[in-house]
Chain A
Amino acid sequence: MISTPPDLKSYKTQLRRALQNEFLATTLRTFASAYRLSRANAFEGLDATHLVEEIARGKDAAIPYLQELFEQFRSRAEAAGVKVHVARTPREANEIIASIARSNDVRKIVKSKSMTAEETFLNDHLEKEGFQVTETDLGEWIIQLRGEGPSHMVMPAIHLSRKEVAELFTGVTGEVQDPDDIAGMVQVARKELRQAYVEAHMGISGANFAVAETGTLGLITNEGNARLVTTLPPVHVAMLGFEKLVPDLRSALRILQMLPRNATGQAISTYVTWITGANQCATGPDGRKAMHVVFLDNGRLTLARDPVFAEALRCIRCGACANVCPIYKLVGGHNYGHVYMGAIGLILTYFYHGRENARAMVKNCLNCQACKSVCASGIDLPRLIREVHRKILKEEGTKPVKNVILNLVLRNRRLFHFLLRRASLAQSPVASGERVMRHLPFFFDREHEFRSLPLLAGTPLRDRWNQVNPSLENPRLRVALFGGCLVDFVYPEQALALVKLFAAHDVQLEYPMEQTCCGLPAEMMGEKETARQVALQNLHSLDMSRFDHILTLCASCGSHLKESYPRLLEGEGDAEPMVRGMVEKVTDFSSFMINVLQVSPRQFQEGGAKTAYHSPCHLCRGLNVTGEPRELLTLAGLEYTPSRDEDVCCGFGGSFSVDFPMLSAEILREKLDHTEDTGADVLVTDCPGCVLQLRGGLDKRNSSIRVKHMVEIIAEQKKW
């Protein structure tokens, strides 16, 4: 049985331990890079976005009718000689399968990989009942021999080294195995498992689809073990979740087009097997297979009716959301999930394995959106993770102190801004006039020392606005600046650069004073009501009729305004049309410069510094802006030098870096290594949060690389 820490403290201890595992780190890092490449190759010539949309649409249309699809599947399958069962709980599923085994006088069982069987801990149950179960997928067999659960949905043993496998196989065969002879070890498995197939009386498989219109099961494998499991023994039991039902063959083929490409970067897996009815089997009753299909509910049918979470049932278990997750990459599936891992694991654990197992790890998300951007079925994973977090807070009733304070403060703009001003005054005066805290206050422990933190600005932006912002005679455009807390209270200089630049372009900038925090931190901490209240306040502060655009220098604010406000304010009456109007007007700095002002190289100096770029998560994935910033850098005369994994998160993630400093530090370390590899003098990004993280990290390294917000470097490059 696997165990998952129920509280944050023991979870963090586990994470620290995982970070010590060098093999894991190297393996997962190499895998993450290789995956990105092979995925891109696999989708060449295909419209991946369109395919994702089609799959999402197909799934959404089917999810409300799972019961009907099930009935259709059952009648087709039963007409073809299959017995179809329904299990409401994992225990029921395990018992059904054990009783099928008993009534067929089975002792030995072979099994091909099934996440659903992992979900119910089927092997444990069957073994307790006295059956001998052998996993036949190589990776599953390895972890079964080690008594572990999978650490990845598609590559269950990815956390193990060849050395560990060699030691294991030496024990199994009694002969010393050479860790460098992987082909030899694979042959060991072939030999041992062949014997298991021949001796087994029952085969258990999962299924990737259940096609309702024909009563067909579809199974996808590379090894071919599912073929043997479903062919050699006289009894076949397939176990699958209700969400595997698809209405027709066409839907299944569409998923097939996606699944191997998204999972492993293959155009297709080696074997795709479509089984309809009880097939010929010489050793079966009447020369046919005794075939059973067990559908597992375990909350799925309730989930299917949930307005928020039904989306999670779209998952086709491709594993991609783990492959691209910066946290998964550091700690692996055993530390980032329970049975299911990665982004979807954080969500499903709550529903399938309970709050206890989800409580701590659901906080462990950067909201970097990497998972969402590759999800085969377009699930908004980061949002559902936050929703699960919220649900748990609500159920548990007792809120962490910081949530209580956050709610209190954030809902009252005056109080919030008053406190920020006070905090600025309370900062100890820094001798050298530096703007960073080298040594953190006592309430941060040493783990936070990986970056220095900026001091709050002496005077926030809002308090100087009227003096610094010129009023233009006949401006060509009116733009509202949505500052966000970091620009307002930490980096007002970024806004000042913008003021200067816009004046030169004859754009009138305004700073609506009633605006407050965008509310993303509240949403991240599971405080949706607070998030809604501040959203309303901001919406009312931005009088849309007066502005042509709403510009924000913070990608996180921008993507939150654009993406989350419509959802947060759904059904708010007057607010709804206002939100729609606002969403259209929200823009980031680079897009505004390129698409609206259409700046040209003439306006900038030549021969600028060698410049690396960090693409903020909420800009490249949240707002889908990827071309403009790079174009702007080049156009403004800078020597833009691409770096590795430019669009991978910097590890900031707002309060994430406070909760999980050890992970934040590691993610940042890699980011800065890649930046230093480019030999750049300047690192540019377009989000003050990233500036904070990157600058703080480089400062600790005593690096000479300067970190600039895009607006600052563009203002520097401008010919005045």
Chain B
Amino acid sequence: MGQATLVQKMKEKAEAVQTRVALVRSMEEALTAAVEITLKGGGHVLAAPGLGERHEEAVPFLNELCRSRGVDLLMENLRGHMGRIHTAFTVGDYAIAETGTLVQISHDEDLRMATMLSETHVAVIPVSRIRPHALAFEPEMLRILQRPPSYLAFISGASRTADIERVLTIGVHGPSELHMLILEEEPHEEAPS
């Protein structure tokens, strides 16, 4: 599958599970989008756990952006901020096109707190990390599982339930919105742990 087809499929399948998909060209563009999404959703707190380790260079930019737009930025110790986080900003590790799935290595507890307890989850996923289907991802996934402890999350859309009269309702426990920003140029090609 060519890259363009893969991205197209990713977009199509993610949208099929109500994920909002956009293409971005840089980390700065992604961060700007996340801050705008926060403000548009009436939020004032953005958490970006793990960004410092993965994209240290982006942190000053985000700091400045949040300050200027009046958004509180949280980077760690998120247990102390449960219930406050509006947006979780994360960098996805992989994605699976066939099912529109975001794959997030989530051993880090702050990362889990943010992606589970926020209202909106904005994830950036570099194009080079998109795999066509789960079985194609299996060898890489196996390597992750072989190095415990690990908490690996497949996320396909927003938290949902159909438990009352089978009416589909979004946002029962976790985020009610998932945004996937597909990053077309990848400044740092680095294998995740």
Check if A19 is an interface residue, CB within 8 A of chain B: no
A222-B159, A280-B149 are known contacts. Are A165 and B164 too (CB-CB below 8 A)?
Answer: yes
Q: Are A276 and B149 in contact (CB under 8 A)?
A: yes
Q: Are A279 and B151 in contact (CB under 8 A)?
A: yes
Q: Are B145 and A280 in contact (CB under 8 A)?
A: no
Question: CB < 8 Å: which of B82, B98, B109, B152 contacts A281?
Answer: B109
Q: Are B149 and A81 in contact (CB under 8 A)?
A: yes
Check if B108 is an interface residue, CB within 8 A of chain A: yes
Segment touching B, from A264-272, A466-474, A598-606, A633-641: A264-272
A138-B161, A162-B164, A222-B160 are known contacts. Are A280 and B150 too (CB-CB below 8 A)?
Answer: no
Q: Which are the 10 A-B pairs with shortest beta-carbon distances? A: A277-B148, A277-B149, A224-B174, A139-B163, A80-B148, A272-B154, A268-B99, A138-B163, A214-B145, A276-B148
**Digit string of B154-189 for contact with A (CB within 8 Å is 1, else 0)?**
111111111111110101111000000000000000
A268-B101, A283-B79 are known contacts. Are A274 and B164 too (CB-CB below 8 A)?
Answer: no
Segment touching A, from B22-30, B59-67, B134-142: B134-142
- Chain B nearest CB, measured from A255 CB (Å): 11
- Chain A nearest CB, measured from B182 CB (Å): 18
Question: CB < 8 Å: which of B141, B142, B155, B166 contacts A31?
Answer: B166
Check if A278 is an interface residue, CB within 8 A of chain B: yes
- Chain B nearest CB, measured from A44 CB (Å): 12
Q: Are B134 and A253 in contact (CB under 8 A)?
A: yes
Q: Are A279 and B159 in contact (CB under 8 A)?
A: no
A80-B149, A186-B161 are known contacts. Are A280 and B13 too (CB-CB below 8 A)?
Answer: no
Check if A189 is an interface residue, CB within 8 A of chain B: yes
Check if B153 is an interface residue, CB within 8 A of chain A: yes
- Chain A nearest CB, measured from B146 CB (Å): 6
In angstroms, Cα B79 to Cα A280, docked, is 12
B residues near A268, Cβ cutoff 8 Å: 17, 99-101, 154, 156
B residues near A256, Cβ cutoff 8 Å: 134
A residues near B149, Cβ cutoff 8 Å: 80-81, 276-280, 288
B residues near A162, Cβ cutoff 8 Å: 164-165, 167
Q: Are B171 and A257 in contact (CB under 8 A)?
A: no
Q: Are B165 and A182 in contact (CB under 8 A)?
A: yes
In angstroms, Cα B7 to Cα A72, docked, is 39
In angstroms, Cα B158 to Cα A283, docked, is 27
- Chain A nearest CB, measured from B83 CB (Å): 7
Q: Are A190 and B153 in contact (CB under 8 A)?
A: no
Q: Are B165 and A27 in contact (CB under 8 A)?
A: yes
A residues near B157, Cβ cutoff 8 Å: 270
Q: Are B112 and A231 in contact (CB under 8 A)?
A: yes
Interface residues of A (CB under 8 A from B): 27, 30-31, 34, 76, 79-81, 136-139, 142, 155-158, 160-162, 165, 182-183, 185-187, 189-190, 193-194, 198, 211, 213-216, 222-225, 227-228, 230-231, 249-250, 253-254, 256-257, 264, 266-283, 288
- Chain B nearest CB, measured from A142 CB (Å): 7
Question: CB < 8 Å: which of B138, B153, B164, B167 contacts A157?
Answer: B164
In angstroms, Cα B116 to Cα A230, docked, is 11
Count B interface residues, CB 8 Å.
50
Q: Are A279 and B107 in contact (CB under 8 A)?
A: yes
Question: CB < 8 Å: which of B109, B113, B150, B160 contacts A270?
Answer: B160
Q: Are A270 and B173 in contact (CB under 8 A)?
A: no
B residues near A250, Cβ cutoff 8 Å: 135, 138
- Chain A nearest CB, measured from B149 CB (Å): 3
Interface residues of B (CB under 8 A from A): 13, 16-17, 77, 79, 82-83, 98-101, 107-109, 112-113, 116-117, 134-135, 138, 141-142, 145-146, 148-167, 169, 171-174
In angstroms, Cα B166 to Cα A277, docked, is 35
B residues near A34, Cβ cutoff 8 Å: 166
- Chain B nearest CB, measured from A300 CB (Å): 25
Which chain A residue has the least Cβ–Cβ distance from B142? A249
In angstroms, Cα B148 to Cα A278, docked, is 8
B residues near A142, Cβ cutoff 8 Å: 163-164
B residues near A270, Cβ cutoff 8 Å: 17, 155-160
- Chain A nearest CB, measured from B164 CB (Å): 5
Question: CB < 8 Å: which of A137, A156, A213, A271 contacts B174?
Answer: A271
Q: Are A224 and B163 in contact (CB under 8 A)?
A: no
Contact count A vs B, C-beta below 8 Å: 180
Q: Are B109 and A228 in contact (CB under 8 A)?
A: no
A190-B171, A228-B173, A270-B160 are known contacts. Are A276 and B150 too (CB-CB below 8 A)?
Answer: yes
- Chain B nearest CB, measured from A594 CB (Å): 38
A162-B164, A182-B164, A256-B134 are known contacts. Are A273 and B145 too (CB-CB below 8 A)?
Answer: no
- Chain B nearest CB, measured from A250 CB (Å): 6
Q: Are A185 and B108 in contact (CB under 8 A)?
A: no
Q: Are A273 and B154 in contact (CB under 8 A)?
A: yes
Q: Are B153 and A227 in contact (CB under 8 A)?
A: yes
A residues near B109, Cβ cutoff 8 Å: 231, 279-282
- Chain A nearest CB, measured from B135 CB (Å): 6
For the complex with contacts A214-B145, A272-B156, A280-B109, 8 further pairs of A-B residues with Cβ separation under 8 Å are A194-B83, A222-B159, A225-B172, A227-B116, A249-B138, A273-B151, A274-B141, A275-B152
- Chain A nearest CB, measured from B74 CB (Å): 14
In angstroms, Cα B157 to Cα A270, docked, is 6
B residues near A267, Cβ cutoff 8 Å: 13, 16-17, 98-100, 156
Q: Are A277 and B150 in contact (CB under 8 A)?
A: yes
In angstroms, Cα B98 to Cα A31, docked, is 26
A residues near B159, Cβ cutoff 8 Å: 222-224, 270-271
Q: Are B163 and A190 in contact (CB under 8 A)?
A: no
- Chain A nearest CB, measured from B109 CB (Å): 4
- Chain B nearest CB, measured from A563 CB (Å): 33
Q: Are A275 and B173 in contact (CB under 8 A)?
A: no
Question: CB < 8 Å: which of B108, B135, B142 contacts A280?
Answer: B108
Q: Are B146 and A214 in contact (CB under 8 A)?
A: yes
In angstroms, Cα B59 to Cα A689, docked, is 74
Q: Are A223 and B173 in contact (CB under 8 A)?
A: yes
In angstroms, Cα B159 to Cα A136, docked, is 13
Which chain A residue has the least Cβ–Cβ distance from B169? A186
A157-B163, A162-B165, A270-B17 are known contacts. Are A224 and B172 too (CB-CB below 8 A)?
Answer: yes
In angstroms, Cα B97 to Cα A173, docked, is 42
Q: Are A136 and B173 in contact (CB under 8 A)?
A: yes
Q: Are A138 and B164 in contact (CB under 8 A)?
A: yes
Question: CB < 8 Å: which of B116, B154, B169 contacts A182?
Answer: B169
In angstroms, Cα B147 to Cα A274, docked, is 13
A residues near B77, Cβ cutoff 8 Å: 282
What are 22 A-B residue pairs whose CB atoms fall within 8 Å in the complex?
A80-B149, A158-B166, A182-B164, A182-B167, A193-B173, A214-B146, A215-B148, A222-B160, A223-B172, A223-B173, A228-B117, A230-B151, A231-B109, A250-B138, A267-B99, A268-B99, A270-B157, A270-B160, A272-B153, A274-B152, A276-B150, A279-B150
